[in-house]
A and B are shown apart, each in its own frame.
Chain A
Amino acid sequence: MTTTVEAHLPAAEPQSAPLLTVEDLHVRFPVRGGGRRQWLHAVQDVSFTIGRGQTVGLVGESGSGKSTIGNALLRLVPVHRGSIRLGETDVLAADRRTITDVRRRMAMVFQDPLAALDPRSTVADSVAEPLRIHRIKPSGGRRARVTELMDLAGLPKRFLDRYPHELSGGQRQRVCIARALAAEPELLILDEATASLDVSVQSQIMNLLRQLQDEMGLSYLFISHDLASVEHMSDRVLVLYLGRIMERSPRESLYESPGHPYTQALISAIPLEDPVAERERRRIILEGDIPSPVDPPSGCVFRTRCPLAIPECSEDLPPGQDLGPGHVSYCIRAGEQVVPD
C-alpha cells in the first residue's frame, strides 16, 4: 500500500545533522528562441541532503541536470531559487570570502582529467594549487604535503615533476583526486569521475574513492549515468529526469524494487553479464528522446516516454508516493510494474 507524502519533503534523512542540505533548487538559463527570451529549466524542485561520511548517487541521462546540480552547489551557475546549506553556511547568501571557503570545503573531480589539468603545470604544481589559492601553509612544508597527498591517491613520488601528457588516464585522474583532497574538503563532487576511464582503471579509482572515504570520513556526491557504478558507490540514490527527481531511495530498495517506471526502464536497459539471460530477457524500450527542457511536458515530465502514462499524468506534478523507508517515487502509478516489450 502506498501513501502520499509532501512532494518536496526529503525522506530518510541521516540521523545527525546533515553536512549538505539542498531545498527546492531551481536553476534556469536564458535561451533565445524566435527572438523571444525563454528559459531552459535545467533543474527544478530538487531537494536532498548528504550526511557526513555518506555517498549520495545522482543518476540520470544527458540533459537530466545532474551536472548542473553539482555546479550549483559550488555556485558556478546562477541559482534561480532554493537554498543550499553546507553545515551552518548558507551557500547562496555567501559573500566572496565565504564562498571561497565553501569551495575549499566542497571540491570537484571532473570526467576528463586531461581537460581538468593545466598541460603546462607539473603534477606537483597542480596538486599544490588549492594550497596556494586557500593560502594554506602545511606544517611540514608544501612539497611534503603534496607528496603525502599523492601517496593518498596512490601516485608514486617520481611523478612529482611530470606533466599530464606523460601520464595514463588513470594516473591523471589520481592527480585530480590528490588535488581535490589538498585543502581538506568535507565533500567531494564526483562528476562522471570514472566515465572516461577504461574498465580495469575504473575499478582502481572506485576502490581508491571508497578507501579514502573510509579513512577520512569524506562525503560524496557521485554523479553518473552508469547505474551499476552508482549502485556500487552510493548509500542513497536520486534518479533524475529532465531536471526533476523521479525517485529517491536507499540503494538496496531502489535496485531491488524500483517504483518509478523511468527507473525500471533504466535498470532494464543495462545489458546483463550473463549472455544467456541477456538474450532471453525482454527489456523495457522507451520510445523517443528526452523532450526539450525549454518547454517541458505539463504534469509529469516523463509522461511523453512513459509506458504507464495515462491522461491524468498531464495534469499536475505527481506527488511523492512512499514505497518504504526513505523510498519515494514521484509518479501517480508508482510501484506498478512496466511489462517489457
Chain B
Amino acid sequence: MSGALDVQSLSVTIGSARIVRDVSWSVAQGQTLGIVGESGSGKSVSVLSAAGLGPGNAEITGAVVLTGSDGVQHDLLSMGGNALRRVRGRRIGFVFQDPATSLNPMLTVERQLTEGPEVHLSMTPKQARGRALELLELVGIPDPERRLKAYPHELSGGMRQRVMIAVALACEPEVLIADEATTALDVTIQAQIIEAIRDLQERLGTATVWITHDLAVVGGIADEVVVMYGGEVVERAETVRLFQETKHPYTRALFESRPHLGSRAERLLSIPGSPPDPRAIPAGCVFWDRCSVRADERCRTEHPELVEPTDGHWVRSFYLPEDA
C-alpha cells in the first residue's frame, strides 16, 4: 500500500532501551490515522523519529517514505540534514500538545506564519502576509488583521492552538502530525479544534497522523487506528471495526477502564501493574504480566507476531476473543 506517508518496520533504540520495535503503518492523502497509546508506549517517539525529529542519540532503522502530491517520493531516513529539513519544512506540519512552548514567544503571529511560505514557497513578504490572513481565517480566528500583530502570550490557549495549526498548514503540507494536539485544552475548546481540523482536512486533503492517549478522540476522526503498547503495535484496524470488534486484551482493557458517560458501574476495570521498562522488554508478549484474558507459559516465553485474523485487522496476541 502506498500512501502520503509510509512507515515500514521502524525501530528506535537508545543504548539498551528498545523504545520502538518493528512499527509499520501508512496514511493516504485525505485520510486520518490515529495512533493510540499510554505514556511510554512509543507512540510519539515512533512518529517523530519517522519525521527525523527523534532523539539525537537514537539508532533508527526501517524505511519511511513520503510521497508528495507531485508524485515524487522522499526516503526520509536516508536523507541528509539539509535535504530533510527542506522536505519536512515544506511537506510536513506539526501540531504539539503545548502551544505555549511550540510557538516562538519573541515573534509575532504574522512572522511565525510568513516564515514558512517565504522560505519554502518563495513567496514575497506581501504574498506571505496575504496567506497568513487566509490561514487565520481558515482556522477560525476572529479579527485576523489584529491577531497578526499579537505575540503568543497575548492569546488564549485555544487561540494559540489555532495559530499553531495555522503555522503547521502554512506551506500546505502533504502530512499533518498532531501529537496530543487537544490534550491540554478544555473540552469545549477541544471540540472547537477537532471541528476545525476535520473541516480543514476535508478542504485541503491533508493526510493526518493523530497521536493521542484518548481512544474516544480518535474514534470520531480517524479512518484507521493503530494501538501501541510497550513500543510495538498490538492492534491495527479500520476505526469502526477496531471499536466494534476489539481483539487485543490491552485494547479491550483500555475501553473498559475508563468511565463512560451514562454508565453506572460500581468499579472500573483496572489493569494492574504498569507498562514494561524499555530497557527490559520481556521475551514473550509485552502485555503478558498485566493481561487478564490469559497469561500462560507461551505468553511469557514466546513473542507473538502481528497476525491478520480478518482482512485488514491486525492483532498481536496468541489468544483472540473467540479463543478466550
Contacts and interface: CB of A to CB of B under 8 A. Distances in A.
Interface string A255-286: 10000000001111111111110110001011
Q: How large is the interface on A (under 10, 10 to 19, 20 to 34, 35 or more residues)?
A: 35 or more
Contacts of B257: 199-200, 202-203
A61 B216 contact: no
Nearest to A262: B188
B187 A225 contact: yes
A275 B189 contact: no
B159 interface: yes
A49 to B, nearest CB: 24
Interface stretch (B109-117, B170-178, B260-268): B260-268
Given A232-B268, A273-B216, A255 B192 contact: no
A116 interface: no
Contacts of A285: 188, 191-192, 195
Nearest to B257: A203
A225 B184 CA distance: 11
B261 A227 contact: yes
Interface stretch (B56-64, B96-104, B131-139, B269-277): B269-277
A266 B188 contact: yes
Given A227-B261, A255-B261, A286-B188, A271 B38 contact: no
Contacts of B84: none
Interface string B148-172: 0000000011110000000000000
Contacts of A100: none
A275 B224 CA distance: 11
Given A232-B259, A273-B255, A204 B272 contact: yes
Contacts of A273: 215-216, 219, 243, 255, 260
B191 A199 contact: no
A205 to B, nearest CB: 9
Given A275-B219, A279-B220, A228 B258 contact: yes
B97 to A, nearest CB: 13
B219 A274 contact: yes
B261 A269 contact: no
Given A207-B267, A227-B187, A276-B240, A199 B258 contact: yes
B254 interface: yes
Contacts of A61: 186-189
A141 B73 CA distance: 70
Contacts of B271: 200, 203-204
B38 to A, nearest CB: 4
Interface in B226-270: 239-240, 243, 253-255, 257-263, 265-270
B217 A271 contact: yes
B190 interface: yes
A228 B220 contact: no
Most A-side CB within 10 Å, residue of B142, B194, B259, B272: B259
A275 B240 contact: yes
A210 interface: yes
Nearest to A201: B274
Interface in B43-93: none
Given A198-B213, A207-B267, A289-B158, A269 B38 contact: no
Given A170-B274, A199-B38, A200-B271, A271 B188 contact: no
Contacts, number: 118
Contacts of B243: 273-275
A180 to B, nearest CB: 20
Contacts of A228: 258-261
Given A201-B274, A271-B217, A273-B219, A62 B255 contact: no
Contacts of B124: none
A228 B189 CA distance: 17
B267 A200 contact: no
A193 to B, nearest CB: 14
Contacts of A232: 259, 263, 265, 268
Contacts of A202: 257-258
A325 to B, nearest CB: 18
B268 A203 contact: yes
A231 B272 contact: no
Given A225-B186, A229-B259, A200 B253 contact: yes
A309 to B, nearest CB: 15
Contacts of B219: 271-275, 278
A229 B265 CA distance: 12
Contact of B258 (A170, A203, A268, A289): A203
Given A199-B213, A200-B253, A204-B270, A269 B259 contact: no
A169 B39 CA distance: 10
Contacts of B186: 61-62, 225
Nearest to A63: B186
A275 B148 CA distance: 37
Contacts of A267: 261
Contact of B39 (A198, A227, A269): A198
Contacts of B213: 198-199
B214 interface: yes
Contacts of B188: 61, 265-266, 269, 285-286
Given A207-B270, A228-B259, A271-B214, 10 more contacts: A61-B186, A62-B157, A168-B274, A199-B38, A199-B257, A200-B38, A232-B268, A269-B188, A272-B220, A272-B261
Interface of B: 38-39, 142, 156-159, 186-192, 194-195, 213-217, 219-220, 239-240, 243, 253-255, 257-263, 265-272, 274
11 contacts: A171-B274, A198-B213, A200-B270, A206-B259, A229-B259, A265-B188, A268-B191, A274-B219, A275-B243, A289-B158, A290-B156
3 A-B pairs with least C-beta separation: A232-B259, A275-B219, A61-B186
Interface of A: 61-62, 168-171, 198-204, 206-207, 210, 225, 227-229, 231-232, 255, 265-276, 278-279, 283, 285-286, 288-290
